[in-house]
Homo-oligomer: A and B are copies of this chain.
Amino acid sequence: MERIEGLEEYPVILDHPISWGDMDAFAHVNNTVYFRHFENARIAYFEALGLTDYMKETGVGPILASTRCRFRIPLTYPDRVWIGGRVTDLEEDRFTMLYRVVSQQHGKVAAEGEGKIVIYDYRAGAKAPVPDSIREAIGRLEGNRGE
């Protein structure tokens, strides 16, 4: 994929259309829709990691503990967005995802946000460490940028 301005650091990028019905009575895309965009990036990232399959096999998977969004410019229909997702702050049993939504019509960042992901062992009913295979996959996907 060509480099998209504002998303150079994002290994997972989705291309998503704005629906007319995404707009609310202020004729702007409603704030809840941005969290749907973040979710799409999160799920795509998990699939790229193999985390979705890992969860089916082991019962160990992600929980969204918190999330937030800062709105920069309003989105309107018609438009398309690039949705970027990346991982930062990989810790023992959790990591942070950063999200960025770019308006293709305006060529500008429309919103950015983050989510805190905790790894949970659903069978044991307790937090669990980030599995090694997932940790390595994150490293590959993020390109070991610190090195």
Contacts and interface: CB of A to CB of B under 8 A. Distances in A.
A30 interface: yes
Contacts of A39: 19-21, 30-32
Copies of the polypeptide in the assembly:
4
Interface string A1-33: 000000000000010110111011101001111
Interface stretch (A68-76, A85-93, A95-103): A68-76
Interface residues of A, number: 31
A20 B16 contact: no
Interface string A52-88: 0000000000011111111100000110000000000
Contact of A19 (B21, B27, B36): B36
Closest 6 CB pairs of A and B: A68-B68, A66-B70, A23-B25, A20-B43, A25-B27, A32-B35
Interface of A: 14, 16-17, 19-21, 23-25, 27, 30-33, 35-36, 39-40, 43, 47, 63-71, 77-78
Given A32-B39, A35-B35, A68-B68, 6 more contacts: A20-B43, A24-B24, A47-B78, A66-B70, A67-B68, A68-B69
